[in-house]
Amino acid sequence: MAAKESKKENSGRRTPGPTNPMVTPILTDQYQFTMAYAYWKAGKHQERAVFDLYFRKNPFGGEYTVFAGLEECEGFLDYLRGIDCSDVEVYAIPEGSVVFPKVPLLRVEGPIAVVQLLETPFVNLINFASLVSTNAARHRFVAGKSKTLLEFGLRRAQGPDGGLGASKYSYIGGFDATSNVAAGMLFGIPLRGTHSHAFVISYMSLDEIKDKSLRKKDGSSTCEDFGSDSLRGYSAETNKSELAAFTSYALAFPDNFLALVDTYDVMRSGMPNFCAVALALSDLGYKAIGIRLDSGDLAYLSCEIRKLFCSIEKEFGLPGFGKMSITASNDLNEETLDALNKQGHQIDAYGIGTYLVTCYAQAALGVVFKLVEINNKPRIKLSEAVSKVTIPCKKRIYRLYGKESYALVDILTGENEPPPKVGERILCRHPFRESKRAYVVPQKIEELLRCYCAGSSDKKEEILPPLKDIRERCIQQLEEMRPDHMRRLNPTPYKVSVSAKLYDFIHSLWLNEAPVGELR
């Protein structure tokens, strides 16, 4: 064991990031322990087993899923090394990849009693992570590449750990920043946040602000009474407590002034007050960031606000004022983003919380962990529901790309089959439907499964990448998918196939294992 640990220390593997302290060996289902005991009592506990972890159906009515949670699984394995998981091997698709039903996300090999104990934690860690990442990616697809997406879900998430995980996996799926300070500190996710309605209504007048001095941006002089003579006439008929709140916030954050403008009335009070403070900041060399809307007709209001910004830019000769950021929040989801796009709007950023972090549209991904081989003998699980029939044996997975650089099909082959080659025609078969088959001539081939834990073997282990690299992989992978696979409504199913040799083997084993009925 000591020699093994020495090898691990020098293997160059990155230490996994923080994981949930509640993920311990007893975070599992009772039947994992009953099976482990039964294996031991029967003398089977050291038999070499291979399990595949995969899912059966894409979530949210779509045709793709983003794989996430691998780092947490690796962290859990590192913890378990003290309990002797030294003979466990883990192969996985890189985190952040776009994945599909029936394709093994993880392949776990090792003594059956030990590997069986990993089922519940691994399923738990990958299920939620992949679901949230996919949900985030779908929101990104609808919003478009140019929009800023902010995860605002901590207060609505299922507990502190749910909130922390949701922030991380939303970032992987394409969100730009989070309001969750802990996630920002732990994972390096950019933080965003301004103020609430409570901050606005806590003020009564400008007199409550004790220090109104603000030094010019260039440091040449100081305005001693920012908020009085320095404010222009835009705020003449507005709510003065709101003006005081905006002034106070601008004094605290002159380089990052972004105000919530819907506390009283957006166009009659919030916007005039914001513009008055933004112009006063401009006089001192600062540029306001923009505004946030949390209620009302977001499409209409955003267009009216953009017109106001542009008119002020023209009236006062302030380049860039018309392009200030407009952020929208208020229980947004895929459907509302799509509706806003159809209505036409001028929103630059979205703050999304409840529907994102709770995965309101679908509660779980449906990840499973199935035995596919034991003692080098392939095993199959049969069912009257074809979707629940497993694909036996150790497998290799390849993604085949076409002439336009889009992914065409994922093909599963036996572990010892020769790999497909670029430019050579290969027959791809549906694993269970005989008539579904097609030839593919791949222009590029990517093998998907990689070794992340070599166990007692001498295989080279992959290094876990930084979170930002996982996010970039996700973005790149989504761009490599055909648009018809990605669309919200009626997406084209992506093809997952098996080689002709594996197809024949599956059906031969099926016939051998299925009992033959007798009619009387």
pLDDT higher than threshold 60 for residue 22: no
How far apart are alpha carbons 405 and 402 in whole angstroms? Answer: 5
Residue 215 in domain: no
Residue 247 in domain: no
pLDDT value, residue 232: 54
Residue 32 in domain: yes
Residue 171 in domain: no
pLDDT value, residue 43: 86
pLDDT higher than threshold 90 for residue 18: no
pLDDT higher than threshold 50 for residue 120: yes
241-278 per-position pLDDT tens digit: 999 999 999 999 999 999 999 999 999 999 999 999 99
Q: What is the dihedral of CA 24, 28, 30, 33, to 10 degrees?
A: -60
Provide CB contacts within 8 A for 483, sequence distance 6+. Answer: none
pLDDT value, residue 135: 97
pLDDT value, residue 106: 97
pLDDT value, residue 3: 39
Which pLDDT band holds residue 479 (cuts at 50, 70, 90)?
very high
DSSP, residue by residue, 91-139: EEPPTT-EE-TTS-SEEEEEEHHHHHHTHHHHHHHHHHHHHHHHHHHHH
Residue 503 in domain: yes
pLDDT value, residue 477: 95
- CATH number for the domain spanning 478: value is 3.20.140.10
pLDDT higher than threshold 70 for residue 83: no
* Across 356-367, average pLDDT: 93
Q: Assign 3-state DSSP to the chain and report helix, strand, coil percentages, each to 5.
A: 40, 20, 45
Number of domains into which the chain is organized: 1
How far apart are alpha carbons 179 and 67 in whole angstroms? Answer: 23
Count of residues in the chain: 520
How far apart are alpha carbons 492 and 485 in whole angstroms? Answer: 5
Give the residue with greater pLDDT, 31 vs 378. Answer: 378
Which pLDDT band holds residue 4 (cuts at 50, 70, 90)?
very low
Which range, of 48-62, 139-153, 486-500, averages the lowest pLDDT?
48-62
Please name which of 115, 112, 118 lies closest in space to residue 39, comparing C-alpha atoms: 112
How far apart are alpha carbons 314 and 50 in whole angstroms? Answer: 68
174-191 per-position pLDDT tens digit: 999 999 999 999 999 999
The one-letter amino acid code at 202 reads S
Give the residue with greater pLDDT, 518 vs 38. Answer: 518
Expressed as residue numbers, the domain containing 410 is: 2-136+361-513
Total H helices, total E strands in the chain: 16, 22
pLDDT value, residue 86: 82
Q: Which two tokens stand for residue 58?
A: 């894409």
52-80 per-position pLDDT tens digit: 898 899 999 999 899 998 988 877 777 66
* Across 40-56, average pLDDT: 87
Residue 340 in domain: no
Residue 466 in domain: yes
* Across 312-322, average pLDDT: 95
Give the residue with greater pLDDT, 318 vs 235. Answer: 318
pLDDT value, residue 349: 98
Residue 346 in domain: no
439-465 per-position pLDDT tens digit: 999 999 999 999 999 988 999 999 999
Q: Are the CB atoms for 319 and 310 separated by under 8 Å?
A: no
